[in-house]
Chains A and B, each alone.
Chain A
Amino acid sequence: MTDTKTQDAFKAREQLASAASSEVIIDLNKVNKWFGDFHVLKDIDLIVHKGERIVICGPSGSGKSTLIRCINHLEEHQEGTIIVDGITLDKNLKHIDHIRTEVGMVFQSFNLFPHLSVLENLTLGPIWVRKMPKSEARANAMKYLERVKIPEQADKFPGQLSGGQQQRVAIARSLCMNPKIMLFDEPTSALDPEMIKEVLDVMVELADTGMTMIVVTHEMGFAKTIADRVIFMDEGDIVEENEPNAFFDNPRHERTKLFLSQIL
């Protein structure tokens, strides 16, 4: 990681982050959520600036997925406010639909549409939601397939691809909607080790473009490379939050220390 290219990229990211740091794009204020009687999210406060890259980690069941799923309203929070891109998430379906077109999400289990070809998976959103003409949508999709390095798979069906390829298609599918924010929920934890790198590489490249990203992951090397901030969650609380080097080298909270000792 010492070649000049990565350093340049690193600098570019620094600049982007500082230039954009004034604009808040996600604002969570005292967010609470329960599943039945079970308190999953407890008074979560979180502010994300445009272009920021945040990694969330924490033990299983701590509410990481629930937190990022609240941001595009796949889960509904019960108390507190969530403002995304200037729009408050409430019961208004128009707001929710609008926010979902601005927020892309990548899942652990890919969730590609198995009955559609890769290209159709990518053009569906632009054609039906963005009302883009078909030829333009196709060109757009091919552009993103090139970016995730699998243009030759365009006419295959998801079931015919490897896990790593499927996840890259899923990333491209979200990017085709030209989102302002990308959410990743453990994008590599369903993958075989040899495929993890190809997906992480794509995500690092995406980070270099200045995309706002929130990534739930336990890939600590990746977190160190791209994150501006690492957030540690436990039992529905944000327990610790710091910039990556300090977070990993010098954790302050007992629970963070325990967690890091288990996964590193």
Chain B
Amino acid sequence: MAFVKTTPSMARKAPLSEGTLLGWLRLNLFASVFNSILTVFVLFIIFFTVKALWIWGIADAVWVADTRRECFNININGACWAGIIAWLDGIFYGRYPRDELWRINLGGIMLFIWMAPLWLPRVQGKILVGLSTVALYPFLAGYLFAGGDKGVFMQIMVTAAIVALAANIANAAIGFFINGNLPDFIIRSIRQNEAPEARQRNILLAILAALFIAVFVWQMNWTVEVVSWTRWGGLFLTFVIAGIGIASALPGGILLALGRRSKLTVIRVLSTSFIEVFRSVPLITVLFMATTMFPLFMPEGFVLNKLVQVIIAVCLFNACYLAETVRAGLQAIPNGQYEGAHTIGLGYWKTMGLIIMPQALKHMIPNIVGSFIGLLKDTTLVSIIGLFDVLTILRSISKDGPWLGLHQEALVFGAMLFFVLCFAMSKYSRHLEAKLSTGHKN
């Protein structure tokens, strides 16, 4: 059919777009009558909640007082934050001796220094930094926190950790300020860069050995007083349990996941049953079993303290959960990746470590961080078997003479604490995901 246009089309004003605030409001909040009612209703609820919280938590709150009664006298409608402030040391450090708190702080600072290079630009060898954090830092920090006599093994590990920390700092400084890495820098500064590779390696090993011996001799005279694990508590204890749990659950989970996919029947059956048993039991049961049944399996006279038992239980439990997460990640990797790796001659471990795992873990970051967040929150369960984690301390405030009955403030504070930690972790995982994406299409 033929068609000839006779009247010109008139220009009209553009429809309300999402570009303007008014347009956005109209489209998203007031699109229909029902939508508008819902919006108004929700705003109403938000307004009253926030207002009530504001009055209770900030406007009418009491910040300085010596007892809860004093708080009431000043303003009975507000929160009594003075009690939380008085207990801050307890919340953070538990019943750790007050004169020895510097050890915990030093441990925290060392962790920060150890890991900071991971986020600094231009620093090389970040994988080693990450690995040494997991493999060596716990020994140094563990001794610092627990104190006492070092056995030979502990002496070696503490020495290795100190050497690693020193090398790490030097390497980070060199990478950040003048580009390059520590070994290259040493070789260049003693003018050996023309020397054959074997000779360069020997020089580096010699320096490393000398440093190791020097530190070893020094640390033999360095001891700190024993602090029994029963005095560990608060956020510090929560971090110790969650930290070790997080650091060991991922490697453990990877090994278990690989075991479950292994071609060797024995390994496969063992891994599978291990995973299934732990996953079908609640954590609290695992904790009880660890503290009551573990001693039964141990040789006569071998006593593990309760904290170590709990940490082992938390690690195994979370390794099993992560194993399933990792397995799901592995299944998402197409077969072609294995074949590509095999055709350039990579064997099983290199294929897994260089090709498959990096991709699977990248897919899995949100789930892995989700598990870590769960782990952090689950550590509060240790209160039930008598460890003084942050939640136990918060609840004990209400039983403390001057602050008798201070429940609400303590729990609100605990909620905020956990929210901040978990929210930070989940935000960071989003950031990581975006940073690691390389625009591939599969």
- Which A residues form the contact surface with B (CB < 8 A)? 72, 74, 93, 97, 100-101, 103-105, 107, 109-115, 124-125, 128-129, 133, 157-160, 170, 173-174, 176-177
A173: chain B residues within 8 A (beta carbon): 344
Contact B343 A115 (CB under 8 A): no
Q: How far is the CB of B343 from chain A (nearest CB, A)?
A: 4
Could you count the A-B residue pairs with CB atoms below 8 Å apart for me: how many are there? 75
Interface residue from B337, B347, B359, B441 paired with A111 (Cβ < 8 Å)? B337
Contacts of A74 in B (CB 8 A): 339, 342-343
Complex Cα–Cα for A159 and B197 (A): 36
Judge whether B401 is part of the interface by a CB distance below 8 angstroms: no
Decide: A114 and B359 in contact? CB cutoff 8 A.
Answer: yes
A109-B440 contact in complex given A97-B347, A100-B345, A115-B362, C-beta closer than 8 Å: no
Q: Which residue of B lies closest to A111 (CB)?
A: B340
Which residues of chain B are near A174, meaning CB under 8 Å? 343-344
**Which of chain B's residues have a CB closer than 8 A to the CB of A110?**
336
Q: Whole-angstrom distance from the CB of B335 to the nearest CB of chain A?
A: 9
B79 CB, nearest partner CB in chain A, Å:
49
Least CB distance from B56 to A in Å reads 50
**Which chain B residue shows the least CB distance to A130?**
B345
Contacts of A93 in B (CB 8 A): 347
B226 to chain A, nearest CB (A): 47
In the complex the two chains form, is A114's CB within 8 Å of B440's CB?
yes
Distance in angstroms from B54 CB to nearest chain A CB is 47
**Binary CB contact string for chain B from 351 to 366 against chain A (1 if under 8 A, 0 otherwise):** 0001100110010000
Cross-chain contact B345 with A157 (CB below 8 angstroms): no
B344 touching A124 by the CB < 8 A rule?
yes
| Contact, CB under 8 Å: A128 / B438 | no
Q: Is there a chain A Cβ closer than 8 Å to B213's Cβ?
A: no
Give the chain B neighbours of A107 by CB distance below 8 A: 336, 339-340
Most buried by A among B347, B362, B442: B347
Task: Fill in one digit per residue for B313-345: 1 if any A CB lies within 8 Å of its CB, else 0.
Answer: 000000000000000000000001101111111
B346 CB within 8 Å of chain A: yes
B350 contacts partner chain A, Cβ-Cβ < 8 Å = yes
A157 touches B346 (CB 8 A): no
Beyond A115-B362, A124-B354, A129-B345, 16 additional contacts (C-beta under 8 Å) are A74-B342, A74-B343, A97-B345, A100-B344, A103-B343, A105-B343, A107-B340, A111-B337, A111-B343, A113-B337, A114-B359, A114-B438, A114-B440, A157-B439, A174-B343, A177-B344
Residues of A with C-beta under 8 A to B342: 72, 74, 100
Give 29 A-B contacts (CB < 8 Å), ordered by A residue: A74-B342, A97-B345, A100-B343, A104-B344, A105-B343, A107-B336, A107-B340, A111-B336, A111-B337, A111-B343, A112-B340, A113-B337, A114-B359, A114-B438, A115-B359, A115-B440, A124-B344, A124-B346, A125-B344, A125-B345, A129-B344, A129-B345, A129-B346, A157-B439, A158-B440, A160-B439, A170-B340, A174-B343, A176-B344
Whether the Cβ atoms of A177 and B359 lie closer than 8 Å is no
